[in-house]
Structure 1
Amino acid sequence: MIQSVQRAFQLLETIAAAPRGARLSDIADAAGLNRSTTHNLLATLQELGYVTQPTRGGVYTLTDRFAEIARRSTVTDDLLRERLRPVLEAITQSTGETCYLAVPAGDQYVYLDAVEGRAPLRLTIPIGGREPLLGTAIGHALLSLRSDLCQRLAAEEPAAWEKAADSVEQARVDGYALDLADFHADIACTAVPVLDDGRARAAVAVAGPITRLPESRLRKIAALLRQATEAAHPPAADSTNT
């Protein structure tokens, strides 16, 4: 943990929690810092365009910079959803099971899109729903090619990481992850990462009752997922695992 970065985000979160802005003294007290250190950090954030102080000695407020970054992320997700929607539809048509698209979000992943299977008994998770990275097939598929996330989770959740580490490594070796009803009772899942410059930008997964998705069938579906996602979003010729 780099202390100066941690402190900078503390200040940003403190300002964000004050709709009408926050004074230097209040920001310093909330962050547990002296006023000189707080002022220097705020001056840097102001120079970078993330905070503003309209009047000298007045309150600090956030600029629109974060909203602009969020909008760019939303556009990227929309493009990803558009590119992979035909893959989800084709896999559901082929397997009869629900197919999902998900992206990492902190220590979780969020569902961007889904095409539901035709069977009456199926797993239904709303778009925008979240699940943890650790302990799930989608999470392990994402982590298998995201060393940055692995390192962070190993530091922040050592017990959970130790339990999941072997599965994440197996997913890296196999190119897909399996969940044989370990996370959701009676629900099995397989997931493959979607690569962007060698990193797992997203994951595509198939999930359903384990009575219809035993391990042997899941592995066959995983092969279909890999083939379909690589055709839709082929990895760069010189990409390497990170």
Structure 2
Amino acid sequence: MNTEAPVGSIARAQCVLSALARQPLGASLTEIMAQTEFTKTTTHRVLASLQEVNYAYQDPDTRKYHLGSALAALSRIANRSDLAALAKRSMTRIAQASGDTVFLSAPEGAVSICVRRELGAFPIRTLTLDAGNRVPLGVGASGQALYAVTPKAKRMAAAQANVAWMAEYNYTPDSAEALAEDFQTRGYALNPSIPVPGMSAVALPIQTSSGRLCAAIGIGAINERMTKTRIEDELIPLLREEVTLLSKKFSVLEQEGLF
């Protein structure tokens, strides 16, 4: 079927991008034409437009076309948006029940990215992170939770790459490892007023049934509200209940190829 005539420019671009996505080692102009059924002129024009915005690029050696870095960045943003939307109800329930600030962070290489923040009703709020903020993996309670369940070799490599950046938050690779060991003992991440004095937080990682690390969810509050009794009798059970629900939700979507 020749789809060229009724298809608009955005849809033509989508057809070419889909063709590239099916060819992880790159696709030649002829291969893209065969998959899209576009003419050579149309295919050239669409590829030129995609290259202008870094959604595609051409290998100068093989002359094959590949998906570009800007598209990968958009994909990561879309994934974080999905995480934030999927976790919204859980975070709202935790914030309403605890009265404190709830954070959701996602891992990206050596970085922990806050993808959503939900405020509770308690008047003194913990605003150490907001959506979009990036910190080194291992920093903050949610970052510590992500770090602790990342394979040791991978997380230590991340910490070594972030030595100077971590120091800005009063962390070191050694302290990150110590906190990872503390996570294994406690069963949850505890950030004891690092790097903000007077504020503490706890967090748990969220993983699918296959073991994929999706995010970490945490609660932050002033130290007076973060007693050991309250943490273990109230806050951690709240987090565990919602982590269980989110893990099941993410697992189903992963199995269906939607996440």
The answer as to whether partners of 2:206 and 2:216 remain within 8 angstroms in 1 is: yes
The structure 2 residue matched to 1:131, chosen from 113, 135, 145, is 135
CA deviation after TM superposition for structure 1 residue 228, in Å:
1.1
CA deviation after TM superposition for structure 1 residue 206, in Å:
0.4
3-state SS in 1 of match to 2:84: helix
Q: CA separation of 1:134/1:232 partners in 2, compared to 1, >3 Å: closer, same or farther? A: closer
CA deviation map 1:198-226 (0-9, x unaligned): 13221101001111122322233122202
The answer as to whether partners of 1:102 and 1:109 remain within 8 angstroms in 2 is: yes
Aligned residue identity for 1:86: R
Unmatched 5+ stretches in structure 2: 1-24, 28-55, 164-170, 252-259
Report whether the alignment pairs 1:110 with 2:124.
Answer: no
CA deviation after TM superposition for structure 1 residue 154, in Å:
4.9
CA deviation after TM superposition for structure 1 residue 108, in Å:
3.0
Q: 2:227 aligns to what?
A: 214
CA deviation after TM superposition for structure 1 residue 92, in Å:
0.6
The answer as to whether partners of 2:138 and 2:146 remain within 8 angstroms in 1 is: no
TM-score, normalisation: structure 1: 0.66
Tell me how far apart the structure 2 counterparts of residues 213 and 227 of structure 1 sit (CA, whole Å).
19
CA deviation after TM superposition for structure 1 residue 130, in Å:
2.4
CA deviation after TM superposition for structure 1 residue 63, in Å:
6.5
Q: 1:183 aligns to what?
A: 195
Aligned length: 186
TM-score, normalisation: structure 2: 0.62
Aligned residue identity for 1:151: M
The answer as to whether partners of 2:110 and 2:162 remain within 8 angstroms in 1 is: no
The structure 2 residue matched to 1:78, chosen from 57, 64, 81, is 81
Q: Which runs of 4+ in 1 moved over 6 A?
A: none
Report whether the alignment pairs 1:52 with 2:58.
Answer: yes
RMSD over aligned Cα atoms: 2.9
CA deviation map 1:158-192 (0-9, x unaligned): 79222221211231454310112132110010010
CA deviation after TM superposition for structure 1 residue 135, in Å:
4.3
Report whether the alignment pairs 1:87 with 2:90.
Answer: yes
3-state SS in 2 of match to 1:211: helix
Unmatched 5+ stretches in structure 1: 1-46, 237-242
Q: Percent identity?
A: 22
Q: 1:10 aligns to what?
A: none
Tell me how far apart the structure 2 counterparts of residues 53 and 204 of structure 1 sit (CA, whole Å).
41
Tell me how far apart the structure 2 counterparts of residues 213 and 86 of structure 1 sit (CA, whole Å).
23
CA deviation after TM superposition for structure 1 residue 112, in Å:
0.7
Tell me how far apart the structure 1 counterparts of residues 194 and 96 of structure 2 sit (CA, whole Å).
26
CA deviation after TM superposition for structure 1 residue 64, in Å:
5.0
